[in-house]
Amino acid sequence: MCTGRVDLSFVLRALQGGADGVIIGGCWPGECHYVTEGNYDALGNMYLCRKLLRHVGVAPERLRLEWISAAEGTRFAEIMSDFAGQLRDLGPLGEGENLDATDLKQRLAALVDLVPYLKLVEREKLRVPEKSEEAYKEFFENDATDRLMDELIGDKIAVSRILRLLADNPLSTGEISEQLGLAPADVSRHMNDSSRRSLVRYDSDRQCYALAQAGRPAAE
The pLDDT of residue 219 is above 50: no
Q: What is the pLDDT of residues 81-92, one digit of tens each?
A: 999 999 999 999
**Domain for residue 122, yes or no?**
no
- State the pLDDT confidence band at 27, using cuts at 50, 70 and 90: confident
Q: Would you state the pLDDT for residue 8?
A: 93
Residue 35 within any structural domain of the chain: yes
The yes-or-no verdict on residue 39 having pLDDT over 50 is yes
Bridge partners for 25 per DSSP? 66
Q: Is 133 contained in some domain?
A: yes
Per-residue pLDDT reduced to its tens digit, 44-64: 999 999 999 999 999 999 999
pTM: 0.86
**Does residue 29 fall inside a structural domain?**
yes
Residue 92 lies in a domain: yes
Residue 220 lies in a domain: no
* Full residue range of the structural domain in which residue 57 is found: 1-109+129-141
Write the CB contacts of 117 (distance below 8 Å, at least 6 apart in sequence). 156, 219, 220
The dihedral of CA 202, 55, 136, 13: what is its sign?
negative
Residue 121 lies in a domain: no
Residue 100 placed within a domain: yes
| Summary mean pLDDT of the chain | 91
**Cα 184 from chain centroid?**
24
Residue-wise pLDDT for 195-206, tens only, equals 999 999 998 888
Task: Provide the pLDDT confidence category of residue 140 given band limits of 50, 70 and 90.
Answer: very high
- For the ranges 15-19, 34-38, 80-84, 214-218, the lowest mean pLDDT is seen at 214-218
Domain count, the chain: 1
- Residue 68: how many other CB atoms lie within 10 Å: 18
User: Collapsing DSSP states into helix, strand and coil, what is residue 175?
Assistant: helix
DSSP 8-state assignment for residue 216: S
Distance CA 2, CA 37 (A): 9
Please compute Rg for the chain using Cα positions: 19
